[in-house]
Amino acid sequence: MGLLMACVKRAAVTVIGFALCICTAATMADIVAVVPTASPVQTLSNNQVADIFLGKTSRFPTGGHAIPIDQVEDSPQRDAFYMKFTGKSAAQLKAHWLKIIFTGRGQPPRAVSNSAEVKKLVAQNPNAIGYIDSKDVDDSVRVLTADTP
């Protein structure tokens, strides 16, 4: 009987873990990178978006200055964005920026409290890039269609 209960518990944990993975994937699929509608940038790969938000580049491929607008730590949108575009967890991202700051090579992007603020700032600045939930997209911003994963 004890062996049966152990197997049932193990199966339950596996099912719960699988369900959490599905929920995380669904959340990640809803996050999109956006630029102002007037931006000359039409498409970026996920790697190009990641490089901008990780401080590896400060320019768009078109040569224009890129100003990333981030969301605050512990935001579900932030966690989903970084997992989708960089493959980094919140802890890995924090370690990345601590290293960059400590070595004097840069500062993390400006962070705002929600998708509405990101959209507002992006729409006001032709050099801005941000990320929001796809349901929040309107005619003030344009989704960057990633050309490669």
8 A C-beta contact, residue 68 and residue 109: yes
Sign of the CA dihedral running 52, 57, 62, 68: positive
Give the global pTM: 0.78
CA distance 52 to 107: 12
Query: What was the pLDDT predicted at 10?
Result: 65
Domains contained in the chain, CATH given: 31-143 (3.40.190.10)
CA distance 112 to 36: 17
Report which of 117, 108, 113 is spatially closest to residue 136, judged by C-alpha positions.
117
pLDDT along the chain (149 residues), means of 10: 56 48 49 95 94 96 95 95 95 95 94 96 96 95 75
Query: What was the pLDDT predicted at 27?
Result: 41
CA distance 12 to 130: 38
Query: What was the pLDDT predicted at 24?
Result: 47
CA distance 66 to 72: 19
Q: Which residue has the tokens 């940038």?
A: 41
Three-class secondary structure of residue 113 per DSSP = coil
